[in-house]
Amino acid sequence: MVILEFGSQNPYHVKINRNWHDQVEKIITLGIFFLVFLCLFIVSSINQNITRNYFLLLILIIMIPMLSFFLFSISIEMDLEMDMWILSKTFMKIPFKKTQGKLSEIAFIVTQDITHEESDSKAKLTLNRTKYWSSFEFWGYSDASLEYSKDPEKWVLYSQTTFNYRDHNKQMEENVRIAKILEEFFQGLEIPLQYLPKREVKSKGTLISEN
């Protein structure tokens, strides 16, 4: 879940937290497989079947992404008084990567919505599948005088890739909601920060539509 927090003591401070709550459906799916393989492991252990080693390996493989959902988190802090934004990625609440910049250099809050139809060439039958990619980004210019003469700098704050449209749509709704709230907040302070939604549809690497 993406949580937006406004500073109670400092009204010019905003924080966005992205934690494991927006991965609930994936955690439930992995949890079901975990329980199934755990039951099979117990049964094979009772029967002293050699397949128990394979079930144990599958259990360990499933546990890795499950734990990663809980242990990794992302936060974005914006402080208007200090003219600064900071992106922090943490593991077990310990920061391992930080990216920062100036708020005055940001021109757009961007949500990317990319649909990519792919073909599985490895399958015996040609299977079409759709991959969805979403992101929440800042676009801006380090030099305002170059604003219309070059492409903007882009900072991807967080992104998600999935083959499940429901997961993708849910994440996009969260991204759009946060972007609109931030746009309203900044414009209320007479800061010209605009929300810019971007959408692309591709088929086998070829761009079909864009807006």
Q: Where in the chain are the domains?
A: 1-73, 104-211
Maximal C-alpha separation, the chain: 74
Buried b (16+ CB within 10 A) or exposed e, 15-46: bbbbebebbeebbeebeeebeebeebbeebee
Helices marked H in 11-159 = 24-46, 52-71
Q: pLDDT band at residue 20, thresholds of 50, 70 and 90? A: low
Q: Report the alpha-carbon distance of residue 68 to residue 64 in Å, rounded.
A: 6
**% of residues, the chain, pLDDT over 90:** 17
Q: How many CB atoms lie within 10 A of CB 105?
A: 18
> Residue 77: CA atoms inside 13 Å, Cβ hemisphere, count?
14
Q: Report the alpha-carbon distance of residue 113 to residue 137 in Å, rounded.
A: 11
Q: Give CA separation, 120 vs 74, 156, 160, 164, 172, in Å.
A: 33, 28, 21, 16, 26
Q: pLDDT band at residue 109, thresholds of 50, 70 and 90? A: very high
pTM over 0.75: no
Q: How many CB atoms lie within 10 A of CB 106?
A: 24
Q: Report the alpha-carbon distance of residue 100 to residue 78 in Å, rounded.
A: 10
Mean pLDDT of 18-37: 74
Q: Give CA separation, 104 vs 24, 94, 120, 184, in Å.
A: 36, 28, 45, 16
Beta bridge partners of 158: 136
Higher per-residue confidence, 140 vs 30? 140
Whether pLDDT at 147 is above 90: no
Q: Which residue from 171, 151, 51, 166 is spatially nearest to 108, judged by alpha carbons?
A: 151
pLDDT at 146: 53
